[in-house]
Chains A and B, each alone.
Chain A
Amino acid sequence: MRNKLAPNVRAAAIGVAAFVATAGLIHALLPPMVPKGVAAKLKFYSEHKDEFDTVIVGTSQLYYAASPEIFDTVTRENGLPTRTFNFGIDGMHPPENFYVLDLILKTRPKNLKWVLLELGDVQARWEKILGTQRAVYWHDWPRTKLTLQKAWNPRGTVRGPIQLSRLWVARRDLASNLTLFGKQFANVGRAADFLPAAKRERFADSAVELGPKKDGYRFAGDAMAPEQAEGFQKRLAHEIAVAGEKRSSPATERGYRYAAVRIRAAGAKPIFVLPPTIFQSAPRFKRSTGAVPVIAFNDAQKFPEFYDPKARVDDSHLTREAAESFTRLLAREFIRHAAEP
């Protein structure tokens, strides 16, 4: 039996090895696939990288809230002139933001001094964007590992045999993230990226995504309607009631520590930012972030001006006026921390 089995197993192993080697070679030869929504900002930044010394990286909560023009005016007035680019992207939660940060740093910006990185929790669920290239492109192994850690052991408290039971609980998230990693590694559908139509589609909304000043910022819209305001205030009251210190997941902590190391290696200083999100809990890392300052605005009692329904478009985004006021405050806090050694 063993004699019959051995050649088949050997052939199967050769087939798998050939598949992995070919996919790996193609992967190494192809430029990274950057989907619509990220491509325009990355292209613009790589073409103008040496003009900027400060980069803001985060989700739409910073994308529509931090105006580089105002930020730079405040820093200049306070004797710490900066030139800032807003790299906020819709829905760019960790660990996608870590991958994009790597892409930014790979452009080797000579004058980069500060990176303001939005704090958030590593996500392991991608139902809304499954089946899109946006879900695939950043699923390299380091990022996939973070999602798997988050899915399997979200709080890092599960030990011993119970960990095995988590395999069943987290099976969908584990399977979807592994599949996305497989697609990323196996270059699924990458040939289509080189079609002119795909390139056109990727940069179709460049002007909008880069914003009117081509600094990566644009405003979200008008204040929410009164009927929406009522719901928002109820949700906010609930969040305030349940607020407390929230321990970050080990995967999140690992991701941010690694990001800080990468930023420092590129010669810049990392600063973590928590925008005025509706969630009021303060994240707590197991170990101190050390030299990485954290600027947090998610406190409705300390920053009531950002939680007035007239200042918000929805649960996540600020109006233009509120965004301008937020940017000034962010710049002042930034100056305070940037001056520190």
Chain B
Amino acid sequence: MLFVEFRFFWFFLAVFAVYWSLRENRSRKIWLLLCSYFFYACWNWKFLFLIMASTGLDYVVGTMLSRTDDPGKRRGWLILSLAANLGTIAFFKYYNFFVTSAAATLAWLGLPASPHTLNIIIPVGVSFYTFHSMSYTIDVYRRKLEPVRSVLDLACFIGFFPQMVAGPIVRAFAFLPQLRSLRRFEDVDVRGALVLFLTGFIKKACIADSVAPFVDRYFDAPWNFTGPSAWVAVFFYAIQIYCDFSGYTDMAIATAGLLGYQLPVNFRFPYFAANIADFWHRWHISLSTWLRDYLYIPLGGNRGGPWFVYRNIMITMLLGGLWHGGAWTFVIWGGLHGAALIVHRAWSGRRDVLPHVQDSPRRIPPERRRSAANWFSWVLTVYWVCFAWIFFRAVDLQHAAPAIRSFLFLPAHGTEDLGAWMLAIVAALGVVHWLNFRGVFSSWWRRPSAPAFAAGYGCAFALVLLFIPPHYAPFIYFQF
């Protein structure tokens, strides 16, 4: 069941109506849990047992952590939780990748091996709900969070349907307190949630799904296409993945908001980032902060010399890349971002002592120099992010190679053309996005009366439906 499907509207209508008609918090949580499990079972009910097992184990681990002060035992319980959660991800997502990679390495060393791969279905959202779950046990272990008394609370936190399958990755300390108190409908920003849902719907159904066929056509056989087609396809993919994922997140936040729960912001106009570090403060924020708090900082973070910090950045980004899936293309994607972050960090550190930057004798006013530098930095960031998307989207390195050549201004040998004029669509969408970035659409819809807003919303939704393609494409991040 997708947020953009008709049946989701009926499902949510039932969830919403029953939820707010219940008076007790416990009844509401039971209802939410039942609905969440039903939502997940629409994909594959068998994998519900995996979520339940993960929830049960982490409940036991949390309880045991609270009952002992022995550091060794506490570490043991934590390792049990991490092993179970990471083991689940490793088995379902990475078993085939590790086996085939090991076999390839052995073959390269002259020791041929026949890899035994498994025909495994990856449970939808496994990377997300295991990260939710781990954030709970780690925070309890660090004594930042009291363990839950009721397994219902933990099950609701891990299984909450708006964020279960593709995030945002919610932290236990941010969500569990919300479950403890009875939500009041008066506190719900219904108008804000409805507008956010419509925004997410437009991003996903109208924009991402409309550009997807062009991207798929190109990346299925990139060697058949001309150079400008590569630029169209890569920019379209940058739009697609942003609109797909941030659209999903918007709808998830809106859906949770209508039930009285707040989920964290996951995107803040990432393509307007001033540099690559800024990009990671704006893109998939819930993952980047998760990796920062539970991986980068435990590795040592910034507490050391430059090479120590660079090592930590690179490990974090490589694992962040691998989190998206068992393929070298994802590892390279993470590596490219890691490299860019290292270069940016090194440059930021040295920029202050470079005389030609700080004390240029030339007569260019400092504001203009700063402005030019900002523009250059932005262009470079967008170019690098888009360049890295090629690896993220391509099935393998053979499929990535022709797109990389074209994106590096090298000649392409294909004859098929997507139409360079389509770059105008990229520019038009960029302008709309920029207007939104500048806050043009931010609050005017709060001014009309409730009936006027409702009438406008109904009309707007009817108009938006005209522009969605006939085929619903699954959310890209569902596969992660």
Chain A residues with a Cβ under 8 A of chain B: 4, 7-8, 10-12, 14-23, 26, 131-133, 136, 175, 179, 182-183, 186-192
Docked Cα-Cα span, A179 to B186, in Å, equals 33
With A4-B186, A179-B7 already in contact, the answer to whether A14 and B451 are too (CB < 8 A) is yes
Docked Cα-Cα span, A186 to B468, in Å, equals 11
12 pairs, CB–CB < 8 Å, chain A vs chain B: A12-B454, A14-B454, A14-B458, A18-B454, A18-B456, A20-B458, A23-B462, A131-B470, A131-B472, A187-B462, A188-B466, A192-B470
A16 partner residues in chain B, CB cutoff 8 A = 458
| Residue pair A26, B469 in contact (C-beta under 8 Å) | no
Docked Cα-Cα span, A192 to B209, in Å, equals 12
| Residue pair B454, A15 in contact (C-beta under 8 Å) | yes
| Residue pair B465, A18 in contact (C-beta under 8 Å) | no
| Residue pair B466, A191 in contact (C-beta under 8 Å) | yes
With A10-B451, A11-B451, A11-B454 already in contact, the answer to whether A22 and B459 are too (CB < 8 A) is yes
Shortest distance between the CB of B454 and any CB in chain A (Å): 4
| Residue pair A131, B471 in contact (C-beta under 8 Å) | yes
Docked Cα-Cα span, A14 to B469, in Å, equals 27
| Residue pair B6, A18 in contact (C-beta under 8 Å) | no
Compute the total of residue contacts between A and B using a CB distance below 8 Å: 76
Docked Cα-Cα span, A190 to B456, in Å, equals 21
| Residue pair B462, A186 in contact (C-beta under 8 Å) | yes
Scan B440-480; emit 1 where CB is below 8 A from any A CB, else 0.
00000000001101111111011101111111100000000
Shortest distance between the CB of A184 and any CB in chain B (Å): 11
With A11-B451, A23-B465, A179-B6 already in contact, the answer to whether A18 and B458 are too (CB < 8 A) is yes
| Contact residues of B between 316 and 365, Cβ < 8 Å to A | none
Which of chain B's residues has its CB closest to A183's CB? B6
B461 partner residues in chain A, CB cutoff 8 A = 19
| Residue pair B469, A192 in contact (C-beta under 8 Å) | yes
| Residue pair A182, B6 in contact (C-beta under 8 Å) | yes
B453 partner residues in chain A, CB cutoff 8 A = 11
| Residue pair A132, B466 in contact (C-beta under 8 Å) | no
A21 partner residues in chain B, CB cutoff 8 A = 458-459
| Residue pair A17, B471 in contact (C-beta under 8 Å) | no
Which of chain A's residues has its CB closest to B6's CB? A179
Shortest distance between the CB of A134 and any CB in chain B (Å): 10
B185 partner residues in chain A, CB cutoff 8 A = 4
Shortest distance between the CB of B24 and any CB in chain A (Å): 15
Docked Cα-Cα span, A11 to B461, in Å, equals 15
B469 partner residues in chain A, CB cutoff 8 A = 189, 192
Which of chain B's residues has its CB closest to A175's CB? B7
A190 partner residues in chain B, CB cutoff 8 A = 466
Docked Cα-Cα span, A182 to B459, in Å, equals 16
With A4-B186, A14-B451 already in contact, the answer to whether A19 and B458 are too (CB < 8 A) is yes
